[in-house]
Amino acid sequence: MDELKNRLSPEAFNNLEKWLNEPQYSDFREEINKLISNKDFEELEDAFYTHIQIGTGGIRGKVGSGPNRINLQTIGEAAQGLANFIKDFGEELKAKGVIVGYEARKMSLPFAQLCCSVFAANGIKAYLFNSLRSTPEVSFAVRFLKTAAGVQITASHNPRADNGFKFYWSDGGQVVPPLDLKFMEQVKKVDSIKTTDFSSALEKGLIQMVGNEVDEPYLTAIRGLSLTKTRSAKIVFSPMHGAGVNNVLPVLKAEGFEVVVVPEQASPDEKFPTAPNGLVDPEYPQVMSLAVALGEKIAADLVVNSDPDADRIGVASKVTHDSNKVQFLNGDQVGVVLASFVLEQLKLQNKLSRDSLVVETYETTNLISDIAAGYGVKVIDDLLVGFKFIGEVIGKLEDKNDFVFAAEESLGYLRSSFVRDKDAAIAALTLAELTSFLKDQGKTLVNYLDEIYQKYSYYKNILNMVEMQGRVGFENRAKIMLSLRTKPPLEIAGLKVLKTIDRLPAEQRRAENYVCGATGDQITFILSEDEKTKVTARPSGTEPKIKYYIQHQQKVAGDLSQTKNQVDSLAKRIEEEMLNLQERVLHATNRH
C-alpha cells in the first residue's frame, strides 16, 4: 500500500481504501486488485480521484470500478437519487412509475434491471423495455405511458468503452434549471441504495415488461411526418451495432425505401467491433467509413449512420447525380438542408404561419436562422448546448403544432412534439424524402446545399474537438477556460474581437467557484459587426473534450467556389489560432 500511497493523489488513495474495505464495494475488489497488481497507476488515479460528474440528465463515462466510473454502484446511486427526486413530489407522481430502456453497450441490461429493482424497492413501479430501444423512444414512452420519468441506459455517442444513465422527466424532456440542480443534489446525497430482487418484483407486478404496445404508436407517429410521396432514393444505412435497427430501419422500410444495411454493423454488439479507435460518433467521418464505402460501391444516393442509441444521425450524399462518389455532410450542413426542405414543403401545403417556430442552439449555424427568416417564421437561435433546452421551448408552447423543426450541430434533429429529444429516425425519414425529391430532378443534397448558399450566404462552420483524458485533462480544460476569461484575445486571425459573450453566470466564473463543463460554460468571441463571424470555446459536460465552434460567412457575389475558398481559408485560420492559443495557455500554466 505504501507504493500506492506514493503514486496516487490523497483523494484517489482515500477512495481506493474505501472501495477495498467497505462491504458495499465487495463485488469490485477483484477488478481493483487486478489494477493494483498490474501497477496501472494512471487508471487507478483517474478511476478513484473523484466521483463521476453528475450532469443535469444523469451520468456518463467509462465502465469500470471506482467512483469515477460507470458501474453498479454509480448507476445505483443515480437511480436512488431519481427515486428520491420523484418521492419529493408526492404520492401522485410516485404512482405513475418510471419507464426504463437500454441500448447495446456493455452492462446495459444489468444496469437497466438494477434501476428497475431500485425503483420497485422505493415503491415506484418500473416499466422495462423487453429488448434494446433507441433513446428517443424512451422520451416518447414517458408521455405515451404517462409515467413520472424515464431512464435510458446509454452513453449516446461517447466511445464504445462508455455507458451511462440518462433520465427524462414527466414531459418527456430532460430537467432544466432549477429542477436540474435539485436532481443533482439528490444523487450526491445518496448514502444507501434500496434494492429488491428483480425476479420477485417482476412476479409481483412491481416491474412490468413493455414492447410492441409502445413501439407501434412511436413508429406510426414518425411515419405520420412524411412530407412527400416519392421513394426513389437508394439508401445505405448503418446502425453502428446499436439501436437504430429498432427505429431508423423499420421506419425507412415501412415507408417503402430501398435500404441496404451495412452487414458488418447490422447486429447490436456491446463490443462495437468495427469502431475505429473505439469511436462510435458519426460526427467523425471515419466512423462512417464502412457505410460510405458500401454507398459508393452500390451507387447509393444517401448514406445514413445512426449512433449507438439512435438519437443522432451521420449523413453522406452523392456528390452529383451521375457519379458514385459520396460526400460527408457535417451536422450544420445536415441541419441546413433539413430546415430548408421542411419549410419549403410545409409552405407548399399551406401549413406555415407567422407562429411557426424553428429552434436551434447558439453553436449551430446561423444559416438555419437566415432560412427561417426567409420563410417569415419565428426562430429561437440562442439556446445553450443540449437538446433539453429545445425540449423546454417546445414544452412551453401554447400550441405544440407551432413547432416545425429543431437542430443542434452535433447531428441532432427533431420535428413534431411527440418526442422531446433528437431522433435519428425522424431525421432519416426526412432526409430520405428530400433525397428522393431531389433525385427526381437530377440533383443531390450537395447540389441543394449549394443552391441554399447562393440564395442566402455561404457559411463555413467548423467543429474541432480536442480530447483531454483523465485528471490532467480535466484540469487542463479548466485552465484553458479560466484563461480565456481572464486574458481574452484582442484579435483572432487578424480580426478584432468586437464583443465577448460569456454564458456562465458571473459568480461561477471565479476560479474558486468554477466547475469545468457546468451548464453555460462557454465563451464566444465575436469577430464581425453582424455577429456571424465568431468562435466559441466550450468544455463538454459529458465527454473529456474541449470543443471549438468556428463560423465565418459571406454573401455569394459571383463564383461560389471562389467565395468558398476565401471563407474556408479565413475560418481555418481562426481555428488554427484558437488551437495555438490553447497550447500557449497550457505551456504557460503547466510551467509554473
Question: Which residues belong to the active site?
Answer: 156
User: Of 546, 540, 535, which Cα lies nearest the Cα of 576?
Assistant: 535
- Dig out the grid coordinates for 484 from the structure: 480565456
User: Of 585, 320, 349, 534, which Cα lies nearest the Cα of 442?
Assistant: 320
* Rounded CA separation 63/71 (Å): 6
Length, in residues, of the chain: 592
Tell the residue number behind the cell numbers 420477485, with chain if given.
200
Own/partner pairs for 257-261, CB < 8 Å, 24+ apart? 257/231, 257/233, 257/432, 257/436, 258/231, 258/233, 258/234, 259/235, 260/234, 260/235, 260/236, 260/294, 260/298, 260/300, 261/236, 261/237
| 263 DSSP assignment | G
Tell me the chain's radius of gyration from C-alpha atoms: 24
CB 149 within 8 A of CB 98: yes
- Dig out the grid coordinates for 22 from the structure: 467497505
H/E stretch holding 383 reads: strand 378-383
Between strands 98-102 and 149-153, the pairing is parallel
Q: Measure Cα distances from 70 to 67, 115, 273, 371 in Å.
A: 8, 13, 21, 42
- Provide the sign of the torsion angle of the four alpha carbons 103, 106, 110, 114, taken in this order: negative
Kindly report the three-state secondary structure assignment for every residue of 299-357: CCCEEEEECCCCCEEEEEEECCCCCCCEEEECHHHHHHHHHHHHHHHHHHCCCCCCCCE
Across-strand partners of 462?
Answer: 550
Q: How many CA atoms lie within 13 A of 201 on its CB side?
A: 24
Q: What are phi and psi of 499, to 5 degrees?
A: -165, 145
What is the distance, to the nearest Å, from the Cα of residue 155 to the centroid of all Cα atoms in its chain?
Answer: 9
DSSP secondary structure string for all residues of 479-538: HHHHHHHHS--SEETTEE--EEEE-S-HHHHSTTT--TT-TT--EEEE-STTS-SEEEEE
CB 216 within 8 A of CB 245: no
User: Of 548, 545, 533, 556, which Cα lies nearest the Cα of 580?
Assistant: 548
Crossing angle between the packed helical segments 424-439 and 135-145, to the nearest 10 degrees = 110
Q: What is the largest CA-CA distance in the chain?
A: 75
